[in-house]
Structure 1
Amino acid sequence: MNDLDIFERYESEVRGYIRSFPIVFDRASGSTLFAADGSEYLDFFSGAGVLNYGHNNPALIPALIEYLQSGGIIHGLDMATVAKRAFIEAFTKHILEPRGLDYKLQFTGPTGANAVEAALKVARQATGRSNVVAFTNGFHGLSLGALAATSNAKYRRAGGTALGDVTRLPYDGYLGEGIDTLDLFERMLDDTGSGLDLPATVIVEAVQGEGGINVASAEWLQRLRSITEARGILLIVDDIQAGVGRTGAFFSFEESGIVPDLVTISKSISASGLPMSLVLLKPEVDVWEPGAHTGTFRGNNPAFVTGRIAIETYWQDSAFTDSIAERSAQLRAALEAIAAEFPQAEFTVRGRGLMYGLASMAKPELAGAVSQAAFERGLVIETSGAKDEVLKFLPALTITADELDRGLAIVRESLASVL
């Protein structure tokens, strides 16, 4: 039996990433994964955005070990604990207050989809309406409520039932340059013959991750906020993948200056890979009755510990965002050089911060081929987009300049080999 036979024999066919990266991993540190056979892989995947601070970050692990050895609460539901109080204090002091944001914190179940489900439910309760507006190429999770707002046909087919109460509209840039897709939204809202029921909420990603690294302009987001505010429609920003520093600032919407009514956060909020998710909601939207929405693992206290340490370590001043900006400029320059070097691929470079895509509509199969070739050369990098046509760059925000250059060299070499 080879190393992967047990997974093939006993694990469900639903498994995905093991097929793209067919090796047994054993350890990890920073931006490096170590396989059981001793081989090393540079990580440009970061657990699909879960590990913004890298693997086993030394600023976090000692505090986690100390907490576990002290007998600290691990499973707390929504009871008050010392670890949870400390996280709330750090989050409000270093994240919300400096940005002038007034949000209540709802700790939902452990995944991003749990946060999206809660946000959609409370938005419907707060407005008394049911319709949701979501956008083309959006991804919000795979439980049924979140799946209804998700666009990809592969995921929607797997739902096995009708996915209703969602109106799909074109995202920024979907209809090409120079066309403001919000013209359609505003016209439909104002036309009683459009068939668009006044929505309870609009859910949007400022940068679409799974949809292909599509970036909404600040102007588009500002207009969307203006449209929703004028009509009493709540705005949810899904910051599950694009938040926690991934696009440069802590929140992906900061560049636009908008203030959403609700924000969903998960993936890297715990900083360590421990499951955790949050809904931020304006106080007037917090219409829940006690116990009206629960989740068994909404009180993962070890995640509160590492989440707090990360906030206190990286978000007390601008040093961390300055370093992200440096690596972002390095990444973008390298991707633009690659695109220029291989004109036959007709690459488009898109993204912000350390969330970038190299997209080829002319050769949509190219991204998958490069990902495979890169893995053979010691780099883990995934694809995204409706046709997996985008090579997706999600390195750790703590990656060094040398590591980033080394990974980009592997991408270039892999691209040359497949072309």
Structure 2
Amino acid sequence: MTITPPATSVFETLESEVRSYCRGWPAVFDRAQGSRVFNEDGHEYLDFFSGAGALNYGHNNPVLKRALLDYLERDGITHSLDMSTTAKRAFLERFQDVVLRPRGMDHKVMFPGPTGTNAVEAALKLARKVKGRESVVSFTNAFHGMSLGALAVTGNSMKRAGAGVPLVHGTPMPFDNYLDGRVPDFLWFERLLEDQGSGLNQPAAVIVETIQGEGGINVARPEWLRGLADLCRRRDMLLIVDDIQMGCGRTGPFFSFEEAGIVPDIVTLSKSIGGYGMPMSLTLFRPELDIWEPGEHNGTFRGHNPAFVTATAALDTYWADGASMEKQTLKRGEQAEAVLREICAEHPRSGARYRGRGLVWGLEFTDPGRASRVCARAFELGLLLETSGPRGEVVKLLPALTITPEELDEGLRTLARSVRETA
């Protein structure tokens, strides 16, 4: 398939240079359904991007769309700040019944604003308020958002540089296997906490992704996460799990930390929690941490009722029966892993390696430019992929959880062809 880039248009003449995804995908997109996206000329693309993880249930999911249209057609409340609405009540009740109670979680639910970085900012602010301390520990190659507090616990140097001011009160520590297994887990971290001469202020909290998406699909082992949770308990630090991209079933279970058998003090959710790709985020925390004063942390768009409607429909459709979505995702993950294993075996000289879990996978190359070339060729062949990692060295796969086995196979075959044709 030959793709003709669109002529210079209002996007180039009026929109800021900050735009990014459109540079790798030079098309004007018009409509989408399930795992398929179409540009304005009718060319079809298979989507292995899923709105950076915001579309776990696919584009224009018909069940969620019907719930949304019914709500809008009856003039349901759209904007409400944090007022009580029937849509919010329905979501909270279903979230409690379907997600929290079955997992033994009694966490309070906060709506901090519509984006993931809003949820992270609320988590950091609350942790500091509870503990009365400023420092928060994060990890190498972490990504937690683009506002100043979230950037302070983000590792990427390019993103941090955009802040324009010092990013303070955040201290990075090595993520799992950052030192290639040569140093015991948390040896450095715990030594700094013990040593009064280390210069590390006692942290209020530790924030971690169980799988670092933007950082290169770096997967933390369950035992490493359990060790971290234990360290936080022993050293009086709150554990914050950023589940913004990896939650809502991306790794199999609803929460990505379930496999490790831990329950964080604070959890952030966004992206697919709204179900339909509409802005929504949650900050969850243990009840004893709920020391907010009314209005102490607020925002105009923290009560997005259409997202409550589609989020509730997603819980009812995909999570109410407990395990079917998790089993399907893990089965699709096995399908993806088998092909990635074959790709790596076919290209040993490229240093190709793969890693992931559920339906998030990364294909890493020694030459960081190779990943970009693979994604560019995949786009020409009708497949949407993005890169991740500190040097853009990883091809990142985020297909919808609702993708069919046939669609997944089609995309994986296109990926394999793209790797061969960029050797």
Normalised to the residue count of structure 2, the TM-score between the two structures is 0.98
- In structure 2, the residue matched to 1:314 is 318
Q: In 2, are the aligned partners of 1:4 and 1:23 still within 8 Å (CA)?
A: no
The code of the aligned residue for 1:271 comes to G
Q: In 1, are the aligned partners of 2:6 and 2:26 still within 8 Å (CA)?
A: no
Query: Which of 149, 155, 158 does residue 154 from structure 1 map onto?
Result: 158
Unaligned 5+ segments in structure 1 are none
Q: Percent identity?
A: 56
Q: In 1, are the aligned partners of 2:135 and 2:203 still within 8 Å (CA)?
A: yes
Q: In 2, are the aligned partners of 1:339 and 1:349 still within 8 Å (CA)?
A: yes
State the distance in 1 between where 2:313 and 2:274 align.
9
Query: Which of 117, 121, 139 does residue 117 from structure 1 map onto?
Result: 121
Would you say 1:228 and 2:229 are equivalent positions?
Answer: no
Moved more, 208-217 or 317-326: 317-326
Aligned-pair distance for 1:178? Answer: 4.8
Would you say 1:324 and 2:329 are equivalent positions?
Answer: yes
Query: Which of 186, 194, 201 does residue 198 from structure 2 map onto?
Result: 194
- In structure 2, the residue matched to 1:348 is 353
Aligned-pair distance for 1:2? Answer: 4.7
Would you say 1:108 and 2:122 are equivalent positions?
Answer: no
State the distance in 2 between where 1:4 and 1:217 align.
47
State the distance in 2 between where 1:185 and 1:177 align.
15
Would you say 1:359 and 2:364 are equivalent positions?
Answer: yes
- In structure 1, the residue matched to 2:187 is 183
Q: How many residues align?
A: 418
The code of the aligned residue for 1:143 comes to S
Q: In 2, are the aligned partners of 1:3 and 1:24 still within 8 Å (CA)?
A: no
Distance 1:105 1:4, change over 3 A: farther
Residues 82-131 of structure 1 show CA distances to partners (whole Å, capped at 9, x for unaligned) of 00000000000000000001100000110000000000000000000000
State the distance in 2 between where 1:88 and 1:136 align.
35
**Equivalent residue runs for 1:1-400 within 5 Å:** 2-317=6-321, 318-360=323-365, 362-400=366-404
Would you say 1:415 and 2:419 are equivalent positions?
Answer: yes
Q: In 2, are the aligned partners of 1:63 and 1:306 still within 8 Å (CA)?
A: yes
| Aligned-partner SS, 2:327 | helix
Aligned-pair distance for 1:370? Answer: 0.2
Aligned-pair distance for 1:386? Answer: 0.2
Residues 8-50 of structure 1 show CA distances to partners (whole Å, capped at 9, x for unaligned) of 0000000000001110000000000011001000000000000
Residues 216-254 of structure 1 show CA distances to partners (whole Å, capped at 9, x for unaligned) of 111111011011111210010000001000011100100
Aligned-pair distance for 1:4? Answer: 4.7
Q: In 2, are the aligned partners of 1:4 and 1:22 still within 8 Å (CA)?
A: no
Residues 345-380 of structure 1 show CA distances to partners (whole Å, capped at 9, x for unaligned) of 1111111110110011x2111110000000000000
| Aligned-partner SS, 1:167 | strand
Aligned-pair distance for 1:177? Answer: 2.8
Q: In 1, are the aligned partners of 2:6 and 2:27 still within 8 Å (CA)?
A: no
State the distance in 2 between where 1:4 and 1:292 align.
46
Residues 275-326 of structure 1 show CA distances to partners (whole Å, capped at 9, x for unaligned) of 0000001011111000000011000000000000000111122111111111
Q: In 2, are the aligned partners of 1:175 and 1:181 still within 8 Å (CA)?
A: no
State the distance in 1 between where 2:8 and 2:51 align.
20
Q: In 2, are the aligned partners of 1:130 and 1:200 still within 8 Å (CA)?
A: yes
The code of the aligned residue for 1:214 comes to N
Q: In 1, are the aligned partners of 2:252 and 2:325 still within 8 Å (CA)?
A: no
Aligned-pair distance for 1:3? Answer: 4.8
| Aligned-partner SS, 2:124 | helix
The code of the aligned residue for 1:175 comes to L
State the distance in 1 between where 2:422 and 2:181 align.
30
Unaligned 5+ segments in structure 2 are none
Normalised to the residue count of structure 1, the TM-score between the two structures is 0.99
Q: In 1, are the aligned partners of 2:140 and 2:173 still within 8 Å (CA)?
A: yes
Runs of 4+, deviation exceeding 4 Å: 1-4
The code of the aligned residue for 2:341 comes to E
Q: In 2, are the aligned partners of 1:171 and 1:181 still within 8 Å (CA)?
A: no
| Aligned-partner SS, 1:365 | helix
Aligned-pair distance for 1:214? Answer: 0.2
Residues 155-209 of structure 1 show CA distances to partners (whole Å, capped at 9, x for unaligned) of 0111000000011111001000353341111111111111111100100000000
| Aligned-partner SS, 2:63 | coil
Q: In 1, are the aligned partners of 2:375 and 2:395 still within 8 Å (CA)?
A: yes
Residues 48-100 of structure 1 show CA distances to partners (whole Å, capped at 9, x for unaligned) of 00000000011100110000000000001000000000000000000000000
